[in-house]
A = this chain, B = another copy of it.
Amino acid sequence: MSRIKYRQALRDALREEMLRDERVFCIGEGIGERGGSYKVTDGLIGEFGPGRVIDTPLSEAGFVGLGVGAAIAGSRPVVELLFIDFLLLAMDQVVNQAAKYRFMSGGQGHVPLVIRTQGGAGNSLAAQHSQSLEAMFVQVPGLKVVMPSTPADAKGLLKAAIRDDDPVVFIEHKLLYMTEGDVPDEESVVPLGVADVKRPGDDVTLVAWSHMLTKCLTAAEELAAEGISVEVVDPRTLVPLDIATIVASVRRTGRLVVAQEAPRRGGVAGEIAAEVSERAWDALRGPVVRVAGRNTPIPFNLALEQASIPQIADIVATVRGVVGARTPVA
């Protein structure tokens, strides 16, 4: 085990996969000498050269499409989008091309493409650089969607994504790059579709992913002090979704809260709520409750930005409400 940063874990995964398989290459804006906005590709151009670490023009649809074509023709591209907000420029290539190619070609072709990108609010980057757009990709048949919350998951899941034969949207969070965690020294590939119970508990199940997971762990800690035992489950990959682990937890606790940074309306929390309600109706002691972002573009001003996405206090209050307060609330 080594204690490393999330961004370092991602870099290690890229490097190890590029060493292991010469079909892997990286392409994106400013990922070469500059090493990427968040330094995830730092130094890779020195090791692998400009033929495998490629700086592009500002042509998002074009270079995502390039990734699709390269993947079909035998490469294993890792395409970086600086912000998930910019992936909106390339939706045709993601949704109409990458996601459908295997199916439309009758299974002859496949698209081993990873789209690495970054989302979320928290740095006053305003409405066009702060979105949580995972639900847009979760709903598209043919795509996998990965959202790691820890350095170990980031590394292990990125490796799995690169080795996967289908297109994967791999979404990092801008507030996680500098967070640290233990990462195994030996090779460790985290399979797609396996949830991780990040904290065991008995009274209520709390599902969250990416940066919201870290807020939920803090909330669980606070709630423990009140005598509320929270089981925190991190699905890690939203597609495929390990619904079995979530349902098993809910069957024990009888209660489910799902927390997401994305706006409430149309988010993945609703999907999980609906799915669990159908599968574990008999075990539920009350409705699945969502803690989610407001239905608003993210504001620039810091206080407004914070008010627009769930904070630890919101999670604590919601869970408390669901469980029924054990200690008097001030």
Contacts and interface: CB of A to CB of B under 8 A. Distances in A.
A225 to B, nearest CB: 27
Contacts of A248: none
Interface centre among A294, A296, A297 (most CB of B within 10 A): A297
A88 B92 contact: yes
Contact of A126 (B88, B104, B262): B104
Contacts of A274: 269-271, 273-274, 277, 288, 290
Interface residues of A, number: 49
Nearest to A281: B287
A287 B115 CA distance: 36
A303 to B, nearest CB: 15
Interface in A68-102: 85-86, 88-89, 91-92, 95-96, 99-100
A119 interface: no
A266 B265 CA distance: 11
A146 to B, nearest CB: 15
Given A100-B127, A239-B265, A275 B270 contact: yes
B139 A135 contact: yes
B127 A103 contact: yes
A267 interface: yes
Contacts of A268: 266
A289 B142 CA distance: 24
A207 B91 CA distance: 29
Interface string A112-142: 0000000000000011100000011011111
Q: Lowest 4 CB-CB distances: which A-B pairs, in order? A: A139-B266, A270-B274, A273-B274, A88-B91
17 contacts: A61-B89, A96-B127, A104-B126, A104-B127, A139-B262, A139-B265, A141-B296, A142-B296, A265-B271, A267-B271, A269-B274, A271-B274, A274-B274, A277-B277, A278-B287, A278-B289, A281-B287
A297 B142 contact: yes
B96 A266 contact: no
Contacts of A296: 103, 141-142
Contacts of A99: 297
B266 A278 contact: no
A99 B296 CA distance: 10
A269 B86 CA distance: 28
A286 interface: yes
Given A89-B92, A139-B263, 8 more contacts: A85-B96, A100-B127, A103-B297, A139-B266, A141-B296, A142-B296, A265-B271, A281-B286
B138 A136 contact: no
B96 A139 contact: no
A295 interface: yes
Contact of A141 (B86, B91, B263): B263
Interface string A275-309: 10110010000111110001111010000000000
Interface in A236-285: 239, 262-263, 265-271, 273-275, 277-278, 281
